[in-house]
Structures are given as structure tokens and as C-alpha cells.
Amino acid sequence: MQDDNEYITVLRSLYEKSLILHDTGSFNKILYFYFIDSLAHIEYTASIYSYNYGSPKIIMGTEYLRWRIDEEKKGDRVRFPGFINWLRQNMPEKFARLPSLWQMIYDTEDPASYRSFRIVLDPDSKKPLPADFFHAVIDEFFEPEFLKSLYEDASLSVLFREYLNKA
């Protein structure tokens, strides 16, 4: 790892964020799962740009991400990607306020995806994602209004339950 690696500052930025003012136990469980999952993919992708593959950091991240593949298939978690697309089609203003990573990864019309646990925006590109991208998506996930929307009785959670009841 080089001390001047720009992705180290990305990781520091992520690690300096805090949920101390939030009661995450009161978040909608599925939205919270995907919130943490997105942070894990951000951390993993930035980490592979910062550390070698044999690093314990990368190995631990890989193990978590392998575990979560089975976890996302449990219960209503599997319906989250459909919910994001439902918002895009039926409530574009709400969709536009979601963190851009959720918009890109779960929108069926966007080529972005998680590939080998990495965030890949353009499957044809071999270039690493710019550090500025990571700073922007991290900040979006920690926007106060977004975090408030994750609570069980808040807007995004209410819409998710509405989606589940309609489908």
C-alpha cells in the first residue's frame, strides 16, 4: 500500500462516518441490509485499489460478501431490486433522491452491477473508478434525509411495505 494512494482517503472518509445519532435497530431491516451491503461493496472496491488481494482486509471483505449472497435470498430481501425499479417507474421523484449507487446497481436499464463483489459501472471499461465517485456515493448514503427515510415508520420504508403488499 502506498501512503499517497488516493483510495486510502476514500476509506478514511467512509470510516469517519457515524451512525451514532441513529437507532439502526429501528431501521427497516431489509433497507438496512442493503444499506450496509452497499457500504461493504464500496469498501471492498476501494480496498482492492488500495491493498493487495492477499491482504487480510481483502480476505475478510470477500468472506462477508460471499455470505451476503445467500442472505439476500432470504425473505423479502429478494424483492429489493424490484422495489427500486418500481420506484423508478411509479415515483421517479423518489427514485431520483435515492443514493446513486442504488439507482445504478438495481435499475434494470443501467449496465452497472457488482462483479466479483466490485462496483462496476461500465462493464466494457478496465479503468478503476475515480476516487471522487466513492466520496460522492459515501456522502449520499450518509445524507441525513436518506438515513431518516430508513426508519420503519419513515417514507422509504412505508413505500417498500406498499410495494410488498401490491406485488
Q: Is pLDDT at 164 greater than 60 in this prediction?
A: yes
Can you give the residue range of the structural domain that contains 80?
28-166
Q: What letter does residue 128 receive in the DSSP assignment? A: P
Residue 128 counted as domain residue: yes
Residue 16 counted as domain residue: no
pTM to 2 decimals?
Answer: 0.94
The arithmetic mean of pLDDT across residues 21-40, rounded, is 97
Class of residue 34 by CB neighbours under 10 A (exposed 0-12, middle 13-18, buried 19+):
buried
Residue 62 counted as domain residue: yes
- The CA distance from 125 to 137, in Å, is 19
pLDDT of residue 3: 57
pLDDT of residue 29: 98
pLDDT of residue 1: 44
Joined grid coordinates for residue 56: 487480510
Residue 68 counted as domain residue: yes
User: What percentage of the chain carries pLDDT values higher than 90?
Assistant: 95
Confidence of residue 40 (pLDDT cuts 50, 70, 90): very high
The arithmetic mean of pLDDT across residues 86-90, rounded, is 97
Residue 158 counted as domain residue: yes
Count of domains for the chain: 1
Residue 4 counted as domain residue: no
pLDDT of residue 5: 87
Residue 19 counted as domain residue: no
Residue 124 counted as domain residue: yes
Q: Is pLDDT at 44 greater than 50 in this prediction?
A: yes
Interacting residues of 18 by C-beta distance below 8 A, sequence separation 6+: none
The arithmetic mean of pLDDT across residues 107-113, rounded, is 95
User: What percentage of the chain carries pLDDT values higher than 70?
Assistant: 98
Chain centroid to CA 99: how far?
Answer: 8
